[in-house]
Structure 1
């Protein structure tokens, strides 16, 4: 009984930490990019990827959280690098969108990930789902259309960036299953992050230097004026890694289905907290649209489960 109770306590604590890190990094990104005036989303993503590179190595090589998996060939490295590029594009797009969109609308668009996953799964693998499964995606898309029409803070460029980030995230998921499908090439998510993060850094460093002029100098100057920005960046970057770590651990200690259900609830919690913190205006139409999207995601998940 003690083991059972302690196991439940551990799982609840793990899920709580997963929620905290996910919602925390989202809100802190929004605060830094919009409210704090740190308008450098590419550099912010670079900080995230650097933290993921360092902390992944510490967790795997030193702390032995999971066994180290090695890259076996040049072809496998190219596949991982391709995934790393798509991964960093999705994170950059998401961070850019937070400069222009409230967290509530950002989460509504992000909830359409299953829609893009279904599209890319068909385009890349020609795998078809049942017509009921595809039908369940209609409220997912309809909800975002309704939310867009009722969003007081709608911004076209931010909307495009958020949709692009969501699509890139779905594409990475599909390609990961295709490119690393053989038993010899399969990597768990923590080892994949270990190799993807440095690749992302290699892409993001020159991009940040060229597109966000003198960003390093400006960041150093800001840190000299007020060291708070430095601590916020460090804490935010560490949280970005713990999002991936806790995501892996929650999946390992529960199930992918439980993770999906908790993820849907997490989006709703993030929306409520962001509205309370940032006081962004919301409309009844917008909230109805977001609710319809979440319902659509739940129905889609159920339809997909039954079709198997």
Structure 2
């Protein structure tokens, strides 16, 4: 009995440790990126994203080839272009839009909008693939959408460009997650192998646009900024921490249950909002805070409903909805749209 108690205590401690280090990496990366754009006046999100991808590509190679932390999952050369490249393209757009939105809107507002991802995933699957969803899933989206509308209408630092970038980022995240089900079918990727294959492609995709669109601005900034190398060091440090975030996601997934992961993910948003307010002191109205809270409660409810439905489907003899699926796509499980913190 004592040994079982110790094992249980260690399991709880391990889960808490996994969640805390995940929060720490995630919130730190968000705050540093916002600091780069706002405080250091480095207003070049494409270059920041490109540096992040370079750090991730190097980190993935070192983790798999040198340190051998995870075994390399071999992918056929043909599949690298047919499957990995399209994923990398959407992956790249997702990260760039996140950094663009951080340049124009506060962290608190950006994180609230990112909570819209479950809704965009469901709507996209319903519109494009005609996938059927339980009515409880649709009901759980109501507080998410309502909370975001309230937060948007009452946001004191509202910027239409940043708002649209964050919203399109949700769509890119949903597209990336849905594509992963079909394009990566047959490959059991973990987060490190995902970065190993996608980061080099993402760097290649983004390098030329970054040089063409931001090259002259970066040269001007280097010639006028009093401490350019300190800023560049901060950007590269952010890239290293962003790669470490992938390890933390892998660790927390394997240390917690699906419900715990969902709740921890929504609490992480609340932590990011609180820390960003303490650092940047961006004005937040009472109704704006209420809208953010409603959204997070809605996301938690959505995760609970998903878990409830998956549990019912896994129990033998549980009656299904009396309806014939329109396609094979409807038989697929709900995609895991909470894994949107990868760099």
Which TM class, normalised by the smaller chain length? over 0.9
Query: Per the alignment, in what secondary structure is the counterpart of residue 68 of structure 2?
Result: coil
| Aligned partners of 2:33 and 2:99 also within 8 Å | yes
Partner of 1:214: 216
Residue 46 of structure 1 deviates from its aligned partner by 0.3
1:81-107 CA-to-partner distances (Å, cap 9, x unmatched) read 111111110111010111110010001
Residue 132 of structure 1 deviates from its aligned partner by 1.5
> Which of 230, 233, 236 is the aligned partner of 1:231?
233
| Aligned partners of 2:44 and 2:218 also within 8 Å | no
| Aligned partners of 1:129 and 1:304 also within 8 Å | no
Partner of 2:106: 102
> Any residues of structure 2 matched to 1:126-205 within 5 Å, and which?
126-181=130-185, 183=186, 185-205=187-207
Residue 77 of structure 1 deviates from its aligned partner by 3.1
Alpha-carbon distance in structure 2 between the residues aligned to 1:53 and 1:275 = 32
Partner of 1:111: 115
Q: Normalising by the residue count of structure 1, what TM-score does the alignment of the two structures yield?
A: 0.93
| Aligned partners of 1:150 and 1:285 also within 8 Å | yes
| Cα 1:60/1:257, change in 2 over 3 Å | farther
Residue 177 of structure 1 deviates from its aligned partner by 1.0
Alpha-carbon distance in structure 2 between the residues aligned to 1:164 and 1:229 = 28
Query: Per the alignment, in what secondary structure is the counterpart of residue 295 of structure 1?
Result: helix
Equivalent pairs counted in the alignment come to 306
Partner of 1:41: 45
Q: Does 1:257 align with 2:236?
A: no
> Any residues of structure 2 matched to 1:267-306 within 5 Å, and which?
267-306=269-308
Query: Per the alignment, in what secondary structure is the counterpart of residue 237 of structure 2?
Result: helix
Q: Does 1:81 align with 2:85?
A: yes
1:113-159 CA-to-partner distances (Å, cap 9, x unmatched) read 11111122334543221012111101101111100110000000110
Moved more, 253-262 or 273-282: 253-262
Partner of 1:23: 27
Residue 14 of structure 1 deviates from its aligned partner by 3.0
Alpha-carbon distance in structure 1 between the residues aligned to 2:128 and 2:182 = 8
Partner of 1:266: 268
> Which of 227, 242, 245 is the aligned partner of 2:244?
242
| Cα 1:231/1:136, change in 2 over 3 Å | same
| Aligned partners of 1:51 and 1:241 also within 8 Å | yes
| Aligned partners of 2:259 and 2:304 also within 8 Å | no
Q: Normalising by the residue count of structure 2, what TM-score does the alignment of the two structures yield?
A: 0.84
Q: Unaligned regions of 5+ residues in structure 2, if any?
A: 311-343
Moved more, 99-108 or 240-249: 240-249
Q: Unaligned regions of 5+ residues in structure 1, if any?
A: none
Cα RMSD (Å): 1.9
Query: Per the alignment, in what secondary structure is the counterpart of residue 155 of structure 2?
Result: coil
Q: Does 1:92 align with 2:96?
A: yes
Query: Per the alignment, in what secondary structure is the counterpart of residue 65 of structure 1?
Result: coil
| Aligned partners of 2:64 and 2:72 also within 8 Å | yes
